Structure formats: C-alpha cells, structure tokens
Structure 1
Amino acid sequence: MGKQFESILPQHAEFISMQKIYFVGSAPLSADGHVNLSPKGHDSLRVLTPNRVAYLDLTGSGNETSAHIAENGRITIMFCAFEGPPNILRLYGDGTVILPGTEEWATLFPLFDPLPGARQIIVVDVHLVQTSCGYAVPFMDYQEDRPTLNRWAEQKGEEGLVAYWQEKNMRTIDGMPTPLGRSLFASHDA
C-alpha cells in the first residue's frame, strides 16, 4: 500500500520539483465514461501549500480532466522517479478549473513561465499523499522538453488557439461539456 500522508512534506515537494513529467488521472461519474490519464511536461506544476498544488494546463487535442473536475472534482497526480532512487508519489485531491480572465487566473498565472497555448490552470486541494516503491519503474534519461507544442501554439496565435479550442476542447470524448467550452460558448453568445 505504500506510505500515506495528510499533506505534502518538504521531501515530497523537493521530489516533485525534480520531475520532468507527471501524470494526471480523472474520470466521470458515469460507469460508461472513460477514465482519462494525461502526461504533463514542461515546468508546469507548482506546490502552493502543503495541501494545494496547481498546474498550467496547455492546449491539447482533448480536455477531459477539466470536465471531470467540473462534474465531480476528483483528480490524482502521479510522479515517478525515472532517475535516482525508485519512488512513486501520488497526490489525491479535489480539483478546480481556473480559466483565463478570472481573478484567480490573474493571481496564479504569474507563478508559471508564460508557455504558449496555456488554456487553464488546474488547482488541486490535496487530501492524501501516497508514496510507493517504484521498483519496477525503468531508468530513463531526460534530454530536453519537446519544443513542438510551443511552436505549434505560437504559429496558431491567439485567434487560432481559440478556434482550435472551439473545435476540439468544448466537450469530452463522452460528450461532457468542459468549463472552457462553457466559457467560450458564453462569450460567443454575448
């Protein structure tokens, strides 16, 4: 089962800060809905307090996590040690979606490098931290972040990104509306 903690301890925060990739899991309440697991890269996650983290969510071909969070709040973030001592760390919590143009966005966005294609910030109120051995996780060497998403987002420009969000990020693969989709729909009708 691993070890469980009620909050992110300093050694957990240090481990998190050293990881180049993490994984985000979420699911709808519907038994027919799809469980989503997304890899996240770049320097996009911040430990805000011992019980709160936030990550800058970049444009992708889907937007499952935000819709699942809007429906039920549940989210898990997992980090794996691909170098150094073996370790897996999971953060279990309740998420909130922060959209551009809100007061919360104005407060949180300056904490991150301004990556092109930023579409929302996911804040997680962590209620359980779990560590486990990670003995089966392979060693892998980090070379560098892929520049592909940044170049793609810069080429799209702001208007192109909004058009892409309207095409690809309004609903999940199960048809659930996303907070970004609701926001774009509301601004489109205004």
Structure 2
Amino acid sequence: MPTFYPSVSPDFMAWCAKQKVFWTASAPLRGDHINVSPKALLSSAFTFLGPNSAAYVDLTGSGVETIAHLKENGRITIMFNSFDAGPRVLRLFCKGRVVEKGADKFDEWLDRFGEDAEEKFKAVRSVIVLDIFKVQTSCGFGVPLLSMSAGDDETPPKPCLIDRPTILKMGAHAVSAGKLAEFQATYNGYSLDGLPGLSSAAAARRSKAGAVWYAATAAAQAWAPPRDVCVLLAGVVLGVAATVAAVTSGRWVPVQAL
C-alpha cells in the first residue's frame, strides 16, 4: 500500500544508502520524451543533506535530458528499490536545480561528497541539488528478487533476477475475496495530481462519494430541532443582523455616549 511522508526519516536515509542503484525521472513541459536513468555509485555519489534535501553527482554521459528538463521546469523524481528479500519502493518527489562545473559554489557542493570527490569523479559535469517535498513508499512486490542460479558441474552459479510470487498471490487473494474492485477504487481512481486513472475505479470513487453525501444529507434532514428552539435561533440571528446594520449605518449610539 502506498504511504506518504512530508520528509525523509533517518531510517529511510539508511535504507536508501544500502541500495546499489537509484533511478531519476524527468520530462519536459512539451515534447514526447520522458527520461528515466539508472544511477550507480550510490554510496558515494548520492547524499542526503537533511530530511527535505539531497544531492547527487552527475557524471558526463551520452545524454543530457535530466539537466535540460531541470533547467526548464525543475521537476524530478528519484526512486530507490530493493532487489533483496525485504521488498520496498521509495520515491522522492522533488524540485531540482543544476550546479554546473565551473559555476559559483560548485566546488563547495562537490566537497559534500568527500575530500577525494574531485579526484574520484574526474568526469563530473554538475551536481544535482534536490528539494524534497513528498516521500512515497510502496510494497515493492512487483520488483524482482536477486538470487543465484543453481548451476551444475559445468556451469557455476551466477546472480539472476527471479519473480516474487507474492504479487500474484496477493492479486489472486483479492479476486477470490471479492476485494479487487474495492482496492482499485481506493488506489487506482486518480493520480497524485487528481487526474482520472482507471475509468471503473474513478466511477466507483464518484459513486461512493455520492452515496456518502446522500447519507449525510439524509441524516441532517432527519434531525429536526424542536419548534421553540428554531424560533429562538431565528430571533437571535435577526437581532444580530439588526445590530450590525445599525452599527454600519451610523445610527447606533453607544450607551456611554448618552
């Protein structure tokens, strides 16, 4: 299930530091290309500066999509995921900016990655600075599990990725229990920005909201206060309204002035 946080906790920071890869996603305001990039060297090239800020070293590569997108609109998402036995996906929704090599304070930013950062990252072209405004975690059962192949007498075991059976079992259980439509209505109706998602889920959400509104209206209509109470409240409201009208028109004179 997705869970949202306003900042990155120390536990999340420690978990992120243990992962071997992180992913960046960005897009222009116009155009057809959405960029997703895997990044390695996590232990040395990515750092949290606080619960709502981070930065990573951007090495020279064959593309420049992230830099271009950040310069245009500042939108970027960072994703971490686990390939080990404890599944998790963690996203950092950010506003980012680019500090290019040679720019003011670039050296100060690079020094945050260690005294040997300049020697280690010889092909650095920028530091990407991230302002984190939302954190999301989810189960991660859809991410494969890193394992070892069995091997044989001629072929030694080697690392491989295998499917996690949990995601299929969870889906089958939801179907058999009649809970799949409810789950979709809860989580698949609308995007984080309020855009319609799965049509059937969005319709179910609207229908449910309408039912809640109807029930609340019916309950309000069912409660009828005694007639004397209504008359008293009406008198109070009319009295207050008359006083306000007199004050604003200048016709009301305080008692002290008489």
TM-score normalized by structure 2? 0.52
**Pairwise CA RMSD of aligned residues?**
1.5
Cα offset for 1:16?
1.0
Cα offset for 1:15?
1.0
Cα offset for 1:33?
3.0
Is 1:66 the counterpart of 2:67? The answer is yes
Cα offset for 1:101?
2.0
Partner of 1:41: 40
Query: AA paired with 2:9?
Result: L
Output one character per residue of 1:87-137: Cα deviation in whole Å (capped at 9) or x when no partner.
Answer: 000000100000112333121101223323111110110000000000121
Select 2:136's aligned residue among 130, 136, 153.
130
Mapping of residues 88-127 of structure 1, within 5 Å: 88-112=89-113, 113=117, 114-127=120-133
C-alpha separation in 1, matches of 2:80 and 2:60: 21
Q: Which has the higher contact order (CA 8 A, sep 6+)?
A: 1
> 1:103 is paired with a residue of what secondary structure?
coil
> 1:46 is paired with a residue of what secondary structure?
strand
C-alpha separation in 1, matches of 2:56 and 2:100: 12
Query: AA paired with 1:62?
Result: G
Is 1:10 the counterpart of 2:10? The answer is yes
Gap regions ≥5 residues in structure 1: 144-190
Cα offset for 1:72?
0.4
> 1:67 is paired with a residue of what secondary structure?
helix
Specify which structure has the higher proportion of strand.
Answer: 1
C-alpha separation in 2, matches of 1:33 and 1:97: 22
Partner of 1:164: none
Is 1:28 the counterpart of 2:28? The answer is yes
Cα offset for 1:53?
0.6
Output one character per residue of 1:56-106: Cα deviation in whole Å (capped at 9) or x when no partner.
Answer: 011110010011000000000000001141000000010000011233312
C-alpha separation in 1, matches of 2:145 and 2:79: 17
> 1:140 is paired with a residue of what secondary structure?
strand
**Ranges of 4+ aligned residues in structure 1 off by more than 3 Å:** none
C-alpha separation in 1, matches of 2:19 and 2:58: 16
Tell me the number of residue pairs that the alignment of Structure 1 and Structure 2 aligns.
141
Cα offset for 1:19?
1.1
C-alpha separation in 2, matches of 1:104 and 1:96: 13
Partner of 1:148: none
Mapping of residues 166-177 of structure 1, within 5 Å: none
Query: AA paired with 2:79?
Result: M
TM-score normalized by structure 1? 0.71
Query: AA paired with 1:81?
Result: S
Mapping of residues 121-160 of structure 1, within 5 Å: 121-140=127-146
Cα offset for 1:140?
2.2
